[in-house]
Structure 1
Amino acid sequence: MTTSTTRPGIADKRRTFHQLHVAGCFVLPNPWDIGSARYLQGLGFKALATTSSGFAWSQGQPDGATSRDAVLAHLYELVAATDLPVNADLENGFAPDAAGVTQSVRLAIETGVAGLSIEDATGDAAHPLYDIDTAVTRLRAARTAIDKKGGDTLLVGRAEGFFAGRPDLDETIARLKAYADAGADCLYAPGLRTREQIAAVVDAVAPKPFNLLIGSAGGLTLKDAADLGVRRVSVGGGLARAAWGAFMRSAQLIAEQGSFEGFADAAPGDELNVFFRDDLTRREGA
């Protein structure tokens, strides 16, 4: 676990977060509550990212249904819970227009996050992506809002085509390059699957860093991602889905068979208590 006795301030976290993007490849896993955030910090990760899906499921909602107020409260909670920089999944800015995105970004910055991402997805199945001019205008609005707040919050531009039913690599690259020109510090296109796709995107947005989503087993390793030039790796709702998978299997065994065998691989309560007791002691002494 971290042994520092001085907790970093918001400016320190943001400075550290920017430095992580300069060289190398790092993982920012995605917690969905205070406990998962503190456990990930205890494992030695250097930064964290929120997950819209993981948080939504914890609230009994589907991904994309959580209100902006609920997400902002979640951001405040996670930022306060950990000494690590936190990157906020701000979805599509919770607004259809640039003015709304500006307001959402300002509010997110006030939570103390070190970075935030803005998607180009509309949430409308008939028209899943904002046209590129509108998407660029929205990202520029986010950039301006950040700059007016001091400019130290890292901005991530997200091209959602591969998640939104438009898996066109050329369009995705064109959008990411436009978002980079509009002021994004880091680029992100969730849903890429092949090494060729990843390498093409990394090359297209260079020298700006690219975030790769790895949300399933049997794919790339962290070394593979680094070798392809990826600067950072996130897991989206992967950890939350892993936790839900264990919970669902155990609960279904009880409900359907009266069996408690699902507890066989459960984490020992004593181990969790020791971890969180030590973590609490460290935080109270900071």
Structure 2
Amino acid sequence: MEFRALHHQATTDAPLILPGPWDAGSARVFADAGFPALATPSAGVSASLGYEDGHTPPQEMFAAVARIVRAVDVPVSADIESGYGLAPPELLERLLETGAVGCNLEDSESDQLMDPIHQAHRLAELRNAAGPELFINARVDTFVHGGGDLDDAIARARLYVEAGADGIYPIMAPPELLPRLAAAVDVPLNAGAFRPDGPSPRELGQLGATRITFGPRLFRETMAAGRDLVQRLGPAASSG
């Protein structure tokens, strides 16, 4: 199914759940499990390439996304952080070369919130260059870099929707604020299921989210399982 249609088919009772692959192998695992689409996490991809989140050279990030897209037959959205300093037309060209059909675009850079008007202009330029095919998920970073002001988050979200964003992602928003955020905009609301002990995707849906992503959680849990396996197979285990 077309990526945009998946979002509009989703409901709070059955949100769209998008696992976050960090390489081609993990992408195949998630696609083979039956998920209809995937959404790369910049932190997971960066870690798999040996970088801290936010420090991956753009050419390596785009190359990694392209490998993920080539590995699966389902739509892939790419986390392109704050756009790597590229003008929207060039950013769009680099993104489309990977085969991705959607993107996350952050409104913070170097741990500082951008001016929302500036970000809205960037989103509008990206929207006009992309046409209707690209699904633009506008990230609102108020709850990570802006002190958590709900009114600011809502104002940013509304500006970004007016500029052409297809979805809003108030990353790290407290779950109890999701109903008010969902009511403030008429586009899909993305929530993150970042912790095993946090709200489940179903619970986040009941709070108003219709798109659920996981950030680097799946990468980190997979690496933790790998460490456990290695410890059982390694020198310490054999010496006993």
Unaligned runs of at least 5 residues, structure 2: none
- Residues 188-212 of structure 1 show CA distances to partners (whole Å, capped at 9, x for unaligned) of 1110122x2111111111x211111
Q: Provide the rounded CA distance (Å) in 1 between the counterparts of 2:145 and 2:222.
A: 25
Larger Rg over CA atoms: 1
Q: Does 1:129 align with 2:113?
A: yes
Partner of 1:258: 236
Q: Secondary structure at the match of 2:65?
A: helix
Q: In 2 relative to 1, CA 242–137 (structure 1 residues): closer, same or farther, beyond 3 Å?
A: same
Q: Provide the rounded CA distance (Å) in 2 between the counterparts of 1:161 and 1:62.
A: 22
Spell out the pairing of 1:1-286 with structure 2 (5 A cutoff): 16-23=2-9, 24=11, 25-95=15-85, 100-123=87-110, 125=111, 128-147=112-131, 151-164=132-145, 166-194=147-175, 196-205=176-185, 207-249=186-228, 258-259=236-237
Greater RCO, CA 8 A, separation 6+:
2
Q: Provide the rounded CA distance (Å) in 2 between the counterparts of 1:228 and 1:102.
A: 36
Q: Secondary structure at the match of 1:87?
A: strand
What is the alpha-carbon root mean square deviation over aligned residues? 2.0
Unaligned runs of at least 5 residues, structure 1: 1-12, 262-286
Q: Provide the rounded CA distance (Å) in 1 between the counterparts of 2:196 and 2:77.
A: 23
Between Structure 1 and Structure 2, how many residues are aligned? 235
2:138 partner letter: G
2:4 partner letter: H
1:241 partner letter: R
Q: TM-score if structure 2 supplies the norm length?
A: 0.91
Given that 1:93 and 1:105 are in contact with CA atoms closer than 8 Å, whether structure 2 keeps it comes out as no
Given that 2:7 and 2:210 are in contact with CA atoms closer than 8 Å, whether structure 1 keeps it comes out as yes
Given that 1:159 and 1:175 are in contact with CA atoms closer than 8 Å, whether structure 2 keeps it comes out as yes
Partner of 1:275: none
2:81 partner letter: E
Given that 1:21 and 1:232 are in contact with CA atoms closer than 8 Å, whether structure 2 keeps it comes out as yes
Deviates most, 170-179 or 246-255: 246-255
For residue 260 of structure 1, report the CA deviation from its aligned partner: 6.3
For residue 30 of structure 1, report the CA deviation from its aligned partner: 0.1
2:207 partner letter: L
Partner of 1:276: none
Aligned residues with identical type, % of pairs = 32
